[in-house]
């Protein structure tokens, strides 16, 4: 079983920055892909970014150039640096990790005011 603990959400003004963290704990051999999804009110959950165990990232077009994902395999932790935040980035952000199956965090709220 894998438990994902997210932190770092909050309220920020447009143009500001936030850094999310997600630490995986529990019983597993290794974590493969890790990433972040988000879900805005009334919308479907969407992929924001994902990174392989080897460190190769992919980003949604809407966040390219503004968000950066990184991970520390020794700590089983993934980070999301979010810069130049926009009101449309407002959502609950969910950590995602793949071990033998997919796992989700409980989500952290990010609110960007205009």
- Max CA separation in the chain (angstroms): 43
- Closest of 84, 99, 109 to residue 25, by C-alpha: 99
pLDDT, tens only, 18-39: 999 999 999 888 899 999 999 9
Task: Compute the distance between CA of residue 88 and CA of residue 113 in angstroms, rounded to an integer.
Answer: 9
Banded model confidence at residue 2, pLDDT cuts 50, 70, 90: very high
Does residue 50 surpass a pLDDT of 90?
A: yes
pLDDT, tens only, 97-113: 999 899 999 999 999 99
Say which residue the tokens 């980070």 belong to: 79
Percent of the chain whose predicted confidence (pLDDT) is above 90:
94
Q: Can you tell me whether residue 89 is helix, strand or coil?
A: helix
The C-alpha angle with vertex 66 and arms to 51 and 38, in degrees rounded to 5, equals: 60
Q: Note the pLDDT of residue 61.
A: 98
Q: Note the pLDDT of residue 29.
A: 81
């Amino acid at each position: 079983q894998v438990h994902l603990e997210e932190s770092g959400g909050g309220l920020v003004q447009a143009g500001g920055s936030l850094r999310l963290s997600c630490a995986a704990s529990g019983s597993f051999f290794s974590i493969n892909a890790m990433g972040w999804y988000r879900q805005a009110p009334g919308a479907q959950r969407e992929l924001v970014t994902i990174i392989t165990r080897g460190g190769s990232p992919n980003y949604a077009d809407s966040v390219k150039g503004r968000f950066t994902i990184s991970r520390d395999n020794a700590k089983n932790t993934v980070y999301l640096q979010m810069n130049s935040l926009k009101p449309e980035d407002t959502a609950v952000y969910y950590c995602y990790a793949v071990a033998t199956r997919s796992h989700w965090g409980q989500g952290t709220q990010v609110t960007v005011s205009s």
